[in-house]
A = this chain, B = another copy of it.
Amino acid sequence: MVRWEPGTPERLQRAALELFATRGFEETTAAEIAQSVGLTERTFFRHFSDKREALFHGQERFAQAFLAGMETAPPDASAIEVVACALETASAFFPDERRPHSRTRQSVIDRNPALQERELHKMATLATTLAGAFRARGVGDPAASLAAQTVTAVFGIAFTQWIRDGEDRPLADIADDVLAELRTLTSGSPAPAG
């Protein structure tokens, strides 16, 4: 019988990240992750299909943050206003105290192609989900797909900047700036010099 163990996935996820960061992803086994927090390999596999998934726990809540933001937009909001609402709520999902964790996680992903592909898959799945939510608001195609990919592209670029060494602005402010840059870019004014 499977007992409900509050916080177990989170404990395993933290342990996995620490071991991946110190020993390397390839060099760490699911059994070692479980043992490092006093659990068994069997318990690990009750929560995750493989060790890669331990880095992607919470993906549904991540997607929900974007969707919840879309719902804060009034029904007659333009698609770009809904994009901005999604970015705002998703940014709040990453408060400043989470930045060190996000930096460590990204450094682990950057070192492993299988994790990079999984991360790309996560963002592509998010874009598909968001496109559906834009369609449900009455946005047609291809605007719904474009709006969804605008959200994920702006978020991805802002997030990469947020975890850069020395960056201390909140994610929401960076996302605002990146979205403004996209509007400047697509309005066709001259490209800013580097």
Contact = CB atoms under 8 A, between A and B. Distances in A.
Contacts of A79: 185, 191
B182 A186 contact: yes
Nearest to A139: B191
The size class of the interface chain A forms with chain B is 35 or more
A137 B188 CA distance: 16
Contact of A117 (B81, B117, B150, B192): B117
A2 interface: no
Contact of A192 (B139, B178, B182, B185): B139
A1 interface: no
Given A120-B120, A120-B124, A150 B192 contact: no
Nearest to A145: B157
A81 B190 CA distance: 9
A134 B189 CA distance: 15
B138 A193 contact: yes
B145 A194 contact: no
A135 to B, nearest CB: 6
A183 interface: yes
A29 interface: no
A49 interface: no
Nearest to A187: B187
A30 interface: no
